[in-house]
A and B are shown apart, each in its own frame.
Chain A
Amino acid sequence: MPADGGIGASNKRREDVRFLTGNGNYTDDINMRGQAYVHFLRSDVAHGTLKGVDTSAAAGMPGVIQIFTAADFADVGGIPCGWQVTDKHGEVMQEPKHPVLAEGKVRHVGDPIAAIVAESREQARDAAEAIEVDIDDLPAVMDMKAALADGSTKVHDDLTSNLCYDWGFVEENKDAVDQAIKDAAHVTTLELVNNRLIPNAMEPRVAVGDFNRSTGDSTLYTTSQNPHVIRLLMGAFVLGIPEHKLRVVAPDVGGGFGSKIYHYAEEAFCTFAAKALNRPVKWTCSRSEAFMSDAHGRDHVTKIDLALDGDNNFTAIRTETYANMGAYLSTFAPSIPTWLHGTLMAGNYKTPVIYVNVKAVFTNTVPVDAYRGAGRPEATFQLERVIDKAARELGVDPIALRRQNFVTEFPYATPVAVEYDTGDYHATMDKLEEMADMSGFEARLAASQAKGKLRGLGVNCYIEACGIAPSNLVGQLGARAGLYESATVRVNATGGLVVMTGSHSHGQGHETSFAQVVADMIGIAPDMVEVVHGDTANTPMGMGTYGSRSLAVGGSAMVRATEKIIAKARKIAAHLMEASEGDIELKDGQFSVAGTDKSVAWGDVTLAAYVPHNYPLEEIEPGLEETAFYDPANFTYPAGAYACEVELDPETGKVTIERFAAADDFGNIVNPMIVSGQVHGGLAQGIGQALMEGCAYDEDGQLLTGSYMDYTMPRADDVPFYRVDHSCQTPCTHNPLGVKGCGEAGAIGSPPAVVNAVIDALQRGGHDITHINMPLTPSRVWSAMQG
């Protein structure tokens, strides 16, 4: 492939130059003339009645402009939830109000109580210390099962209980699943925890609100993965500002991983206060605040049963999960343990009947929402762990057991309501066996043993649903939004193009890869294509970037818009060459008349569109600009097989990742370099979840992991060089690029591989241990080894 080419080329990233030279423009780099600074006074108790907030002393402190409390937001809406789940009885979920600033009660450590706006950040912080807050402590609701017991303290007094919903899927299959489990030759059961994670994008959240007295328009600069979604949610539901009077800008954003999808109270506050105070208001989140205010991820407690017949064919799966919602419903929270989790429980396997029950529970913790993978890692982890356990119980090879049960014919309608369009699970497993050098494992095992170490090999598969999502379908499932994507392609007179996309890049390299696609379609150099994103003022309404959707949905919109451009350009070219439109061919940026030597260049056509002296004005309009909205027909289904090899020090319980191989099928690939990078990052996050990351609260709801000194993030010496491959490609059948999405795979596929490897090492070392809950810290592993 050429060094700088179209689809399939590993073009170097154009955005890197600004990031490498310190010229990025992140939200905290934006400073407005006359801006004030806000500091949020946050609750230091998990649950309590808010009896009073005395700001009188603080109000007189140097530099203080105004202190806001809930009373100032009496006429403002709560932070909305974007998805309404219907429970197994047909009732809608319980949906509490989520005020901008705490009203009447505080419900988690970090719940904002007051907002101090001052001339400087330091003055705002100083004044916060002078505010007197009167809180009557209430018992903290922390354990999900206890929270559902009769008589439990309620997180929200106006709800009937702490149960958000009790979801059954597919409810009509429940009896058949129970019967199949009764009739099974073998049933493997596993109880596990999918540990609560704190996303920790390296850039903390920032919001800058601005109000233009001249136009009456509000602008919010914010660290968001989806500025249009923020504009809609904040404008329509919280502050009552119509879209045409509200602009949301998400400039360079330093990672998201889901945590920057949601509309947060601090964004609404800065927009509101900028207007109220008639000056820009800036908030920069500290990392300590991020730990207690960014939405967390995962936090499922699950019991899964896998039934097999006498020939080791899977006959049924039954799984029951308690899913922590935290204190309030974050933007997409209700959909994660349900539609993004239950629908993936078939995995890569042809299990005839499946039943998923999820009880979503309110607790006095930070709200929980999507984090890289979102529901799909939780599904994959329990399925791939229970299959591994079943293989051990049955004394069969775990890879052979998986292969025996693979879905092999496509399209495949699962018993959990989705239809896989394409896939080849044997191909990725074949590739994995080659990449992981499994035949060399015994020699490596012997070498570890010679050093007094244990060694294990863990393998698993995964499938995910990406390219989120068909609007009509998700509307039926409770989404309060469409999930299409948009693009406007503006061709300039001299031939350059600007692609304005509704998706957003915060590390994914869209400015490079999207340009490759459009350049490839026209046959021009990628540097003639500029990709613009992140500003509601100059991009069409789009739903943003998450769920590995940008290329599959946003890229498809861009392709559709470019097809319209080419169709119109072809008409212009036909006119210029006095030929029939049907005879016009486009290749390498040249329009030619089939069977002749007549041609015009791309630039001739674009110039004619804007200088229409010789132009079919009676047939077509001047100009060359088109917009398309693309709504996908189905999800996409990336899948793959992962292998992890660990060494375990029996003296300390410390696990070291020695080798990691990932064979993925992402369908077609636009930029292999970027795709590999996405997998690398996902693997590190998955390894982090498996070995070291775990949000911990004490029984009073105090956050014990509130900084990088307590919450362990993977560092460079915690991970090896990875072996990744995406040469197994079964293109998606329903989007124009045949792409499936690659952003989340690594984080979905890697935790079970790591845990399977550790259990394998322990078993080979003579320890009868079938499961340890993540994170597999030295302490947990060592303790398990002591029995």
Chain B
Amino acid sequence: MAQVSMTVNGKAASGEIEGRTLLVDFLRDTLGMTGTHVGCDTSQCGACVVHLDGKAVKACAIFAAEAEGAEVTTVEGMANDDGSLGTIQQAFQDHHGLQCGFCTPGMVMSAAALLKDNPTPSEAEIRDYLEGNICRCTGYHNIVKAIMAASGQDVSSIAAE
């Protein structure tokens, strides 16, 4: 067992880990932060996406030890300071961009990473960026719409809710 320390959502976090402990397991099991989900074991589904030093990563594909000293942001850190939903979160609610909610943390974190690099992505750019995130409920329609809305684009002409 070894000790690992990092900053998670702006707060210092540390714990005992095995060498094989994944970052997602450290977040969920050691820190009790269960907002980040595990939907597969081949790094395909994207339910575990978090930001590591500002970049979107799959927390199931990184050892906790690799995050030593890093700044980690999870879905729990995406709300406004007053606790209200952040811009992306609010857009997901406004446009029904989630149903069962299981893929949602990864979708929100991927969307945030996309908008950081590309503040007004096209529909095609959003769909392309979400290659690494699988949703089984929404058919992606309202996720794409929500991300466009979160970037300030007019989505009123997009068919249906």
Binding site for B on A (CB under 8 A): 10, 12-13, 15-24, 26, 28-29, 31, 122, 200-204, 252-255, 257, 284, 286-288, 506-509, 672-674, 676-677, 680-685, 707-709, 713-717, 719, 721-725, 746
Contacts and interface: CB of A to CB of B under 8 A. Distances in A.
A24 B75 CA distance: 11
Most buried by B among A17, A21, A23, A287: A21
A23 B36 CA distance: 10
Contacts of B34: 22, 24, 26, 28-29
Most buried by A among B29, B103, B128, B140: B140
Interface in B127-161: 127-128, 130-131, 133-145, 158-161
Interface residues on B, range: 35 or more
B16 interface: no
Q: Which 10 A-B pairs have the closest CB atoms?
A: A22-B35, A19-B101, A254-B102, A684-B139, A507-B100, A708-B44, A507-B99, A680-B139, A29-B34, A716-B130
A645 to B, nearest CB: 14
Interface in B15-69: 18, 20, 28-29, 33-42, 44-45, 47
28 contacts: A12-B93, A22-B36, A22-B76, A23-B35, A200-B136, A202-B45, A202-B134, A203-B37, A203-B102, A254-B102, A287-B40, A287-B42, A288-B41, A507-B99, A507-B100, A673-B96, A673-B161, A684-B138, A709-B44, A715-B130, A716-B133, A716-B135, A716-B140, A717-B127, A721-B144, A721-B145, A723-B160, A725-B160
B96 to A, nearest CB: 5
Question: Is the contact region of chain B dominated by helix, strand, or loop, or is it mixed?
Answer: loop
Given A202-B39, A715-B134, A20 B139 contact: no
Contacts of B28: 28-29
A254 B124 CA distance: 27
A118 B92 CA distance: 40
Nearest to B95: A673
Contacts of B33: 22
B82 to A, nearest CB: 13
Contacts of A26: 34, 37, 102
Contact of B94 (A12, A21, A255): A12
Nearest to A288: B41
Contacts of A18: 101
A685 B138 CA distance: 10
A657 to B, nearest CB: 11
Nearest to B76: A22
Contacts of B136: 200-202, 255, 257, 681, 684-685, 713
B102 A202 contact: yes
Contacts of A719: 139-141
A252 B101 CA distance: 9
B133 to A, nearest CB: 7
A681 B99 contact: yes
A708 B132 CA distance: 11
Contacts of B126: 716
A719 B123 CA distance: 11
A198 to B, nearest CB: 11
A548 to B, nearest CB: 15
A21 B76 contact: yes
Contacts of B140: 680, 684, 714-716, 719
A713 B134 contact: yes
Interface of B: 18, 20, 28-29, 33-42, 44-45, 47, 74-76, 78-79, 85, 89, 92-94, 96, 98-105, 108, 123-124, 126-128, 130-131, 133-145, 158-161
B93 A17 contact: yes
B134 to A, nearest CB: 5
Contacts of A708: 40, 42, 44-45, 134
B45 A122 contact: no
B45 to A, nearest CB: 6
A506 B101 CA distance: 9
Contacts of B159: 721-724
Nearest to B35: A22
Given A16-B98, A202-B47, A286-B41, A722 B141 contact: yes
Contacts of A507: 99-101, 137
A684 B130 CA distance: 15
Contacts of B142: 677, 680
A672 B143 CA distance: 17
Contacts of A201: 100, 102, 136
Nearest to A287: B40
Contacts of A22: 33-36, 74-76, 105
Given A204-B38, A677-B99, 20 more contacts: A13-B96, A16-B93, A20-B104, A21-B85, A22-B76, A24-B34, A202-B47, A202-B134, A203-B100, A254-B101, A254-B102, A284-B38, A287-B39, A507-B101, A677-B141, A684-B139, A685-B139, A715-B127, A715-B133, A717-B131
A21 B79 contact: yes
Nearest to B134: A713
Contacts of A684: 136, 138-140
Contact of B20 (A17, A29, A122, A674): A122
A787 B131 CA distance: 33
Contacts of A709: 42, 44
A708 B42 CA distance: 7
Contacts of A286: 41
A21 B41 CA distance: 24
B141 A680 contact: yes
B127 A19 contact: no
B130 A28 contact: no
A725 B159 CA distance: 9
B99 A509 contact: yes
A722 B160 contact: yes
Nearest to B18: A122
Most buried by A among B79, B89, B104, B139: B139
A252 B142 CA distance: 21
A746 B96 CA distance: 17
A725 B160 CA distance: 7
Contact of B161 (A28, A287, A672, A713): A672
